[in-house]
Amino acid sequence: MISIAVQENDFESGTEINRLSAMGGGAISSFVGQVRGDGKLRALELEHYPAMTEKALRKIAVKASEQWALHGITIIHRVGRLQVGEQIVLVCTCSDHRQAAIEACSYIMDQLKTVAPFWKKEILQDGTENWVEERQSDLDAAQYWKN
Amino acid sequence: MSHQLNVVYFSWVKERIGRDQDIIDCPENAETVAQILEFLQSKDAVYQEVFADLKKLRFALDQDFVGLETLLGSAKELAIFPPVTGG
Convert the pLDDT of each residue in A99-139 to its tens digit.
999 999 999 999 999 999 999 999 999 999 999 999 999 99
Task: Looking at the complex, report in whole angstroms how far the Cα of residue A138 sits from the nearest Cα belonging to chain B.
Answer: 9
Is residue B38's pLDDT more than 90?
Answer: yes
Yes or no, beta carbons of B86 and A121 under 8 Å apart: no
**Average pLDDT over every residue of A59-64:** 98
Q: Taking the complete model, does pTM exceed 0.90, yes or no?
A: yes
Is residue B1's pLDDT more than 60?
Answer: no
pLDDT band at A24 (very low <50, low <70, confident <90, very high): confident
Q: Which of A52, A121, A134 is facing B83, going by the closest CB pair?
A: A134
Point out the least confidently predicted range of A102-106, A142-146, B38-42: A142-146
Say what the pLDDT of residue B14 is: 98
Yes or no, beta carbons of B65 and A115 under 8 Å apart: yes
- Amino acid of residue A145: W
pLDDT band at A64 (very low <50, low <70, confident <90, very high): very high
Q: Scanning every residue of chain A, which has its alpha carbon at the shortest distance from the alpha carbon of B9? A: A49
Task: Looking at the complex, report in whole angstroms how far the Cα of residue B72 sits from the nearest Cα belonging to chain A.
Answer: 17
Contacts 24+ apart (CB under 8 A), A126-131: A126/A40, A129/A45, A131/B11, A131/B12, A131/B82, A131/B85
Does B18 touch chain A if contact means CB atoms closer than 8 Å?
no
Phi, psi of A21 (to 5 degrees): -70, -20
Which residues of A have a CB under 8 Å from any CB of B? Answer: 33, 46-49, 51-52, 55-56, 77, 88-89, 109, 112-121, 131-134, 138
CB-count burial class (<10 Å; 0-12, 13-18, 19+) for A73? buried
Say what the pLDDT of residue A39 is: 84
Q: Do the interacting molecules here have an ipTM over 0.90? A: yes
